Amino acid sequence: MSHSKLRTDKTCLNCGAEITGRYCSACGQENIEPKQTVWHLINHFFSDITHFDGKFFVTVKDLFAKPGFLSKEYMIGRRVSYLDPIRMYIFTSAIFFLIFFSLFDVRNKHVSANTSTEIQKDPELRELMTKAKNAADSLRILKNYNATATPLITLDEDSPAVKKGGVQIKPAKVNYQTVESYDSVQQALTPDQRDGWIKQKLTRREIQLVQQLNENPGGTVREFLSNFMHNFPKVLFISLPLFALVLKLLYVREKNFYYVDHGIFSVHLFIFSFLLLLISFGLGEMSSVTHWRLIIWLQFALWIYALIYYYKAMRRFYGQSRGKTILKYLLLFFLSLIVNVTIFMLAAFYTVVES
């Protein structure tokens, strides 16, 4: 509560309602003088910080010591003593990714990469392809140029179109050296023989990646990993509602639980996972400096506790028997693994295409 002077006027400055006490019964705003001193602002700042810290540490203590307790408390309406789960998720995830990206910045690490793909680098062919202005030029260049044993295209001599003086081309299986050579082949083909828009985009990207891997393997891998890691928060953000959906499917017969309830439970599990990973990162840094074996055992014990924690959280929150909880616990991990692997594969594909 603020120590500022109360206004004599009992009309709320925020909503205009009549005030009978210190706070407006309609909107909750405190009926104090709008003019504030510097000391009041400083006092208000530190009060908010200590209030947040107090709630934060109480929330973290109960989160770790009582699996599923916070979600249960939120569900039955006892919420004022703890941080709002969404606010806490945003806060802990921001801290987590800040530390995560500082510890695992692949751009500053050496990444070795070997590629077994052999690509012939032929500047002469590349130069010729860029000079092709139309399909006839492309066809003439590709037909007369015999730099490789495998032709880029072959003529279908038995085609009626060829016999009548037309150009009927069928592409041969080939590893294109440059995007220009691929585009030239596509230009030389008839519209019905050309690759679709999606295949063209993917093929061009594949050619570019192969060129980059041949020219700078380590740099290409570093760039991919860096881009993928920066998509990691998006992956987790997408996986959260899907995780809640899996819980909804597992407890579909429980009529007292709505999707939002599963969502709050999922948020608390994700917050616990973020904090657990931060502790693990800290222990890992200590281990790299001190080389104590005890730290490795502590990390091992931490992950064993995590496995037990998830089970106990489900048991307390949903209140089912041990047998049912263990079965759904295993199903949850299996289904979540499938969902997360799918999301990560899509994220990796997106990173390759868009990077």
Per-residue pLDDT at 273 = 92
Q: Is residue 177 part of a domain?
A: no
Residue 18 and residue 93 in one domain: no
Per-residue pLDDT at 332 = 94
Query: Could you tell me how far CA 45 lies from the centroid of its own chain?
Result: 34
Q: Is residue 311 part of a domain?
A: yes
Residue 251 and residue 339 in one domain: yes
Contact at 8 Å (CB) between 182 and 204? yes
Q: Is residue 230 part of a domain?
A: yes
Q: Residue 160 and residue 177: Cα distance in Å, rounded?
A: 31
Residue 254 and residue 317 in one domain: yes
Per-residue pLDDT at 67 = 95
With bands split at pLDDT 50, 70 and 90, how would you rate the model's confidence at 212?
low
Q: Is residue 25 part of a domain?
A: yes
Q: Is residue 308 part of a domain?
A: yes
Q: Is residue 317 part of a domain?
A: yes
Per-residue pLDDT at 247 = 95
Of residues 293 and 232, more confidence is placed in 293
Taking residues 290-311, report their average pLDDT: 91
Residue 251 and residue 348 in one domain: yes
pLDDT at position 344 over 50 = yes
Total domain count, the chain:
2
With bands split at pLDDT 50, 70 and 90, how would you rate the model's confidence at 214?
low
Q: Is residue 327 part of a domain?
A: yes
Does the pTM surpass 0.85? The reply is: no
Residue 10 and residue 90 in one domain: no
Residue 6 and residue 108 in one domain: no
Which residues span the domain enclosing 311?
85-112+224-354
Q: Is residue 241 part of a domain?
A: yes
- What Cα–Cα distance (Å) separates residue 212 from each residue in 57, 173, 182, 265, 342? 49, 22, 17, 45, 27
Of 39-48, 169-178, 228-237, 336-345, minimum mean pLDDT range: 169-178
Residue 7 and residue 89 in one domain: no
pLDDT at position 159 over 50 = no
Per-residue pLDDT at 169 = 45
pLDDT at position 201 over 50 = yes
Most confidently predicted of 119-123, 136-140, 319-323: 319-323
Per the prediction, the chain carries an average pLDDT of: 75
Residue 284 and residue 344 in one domain: yes
Q: What is the pLDDT of residues 66-116, one digit of tens each?
A: 999 999 999 988 888 888 899 899 989 888 888 887 776 645 544 444 433
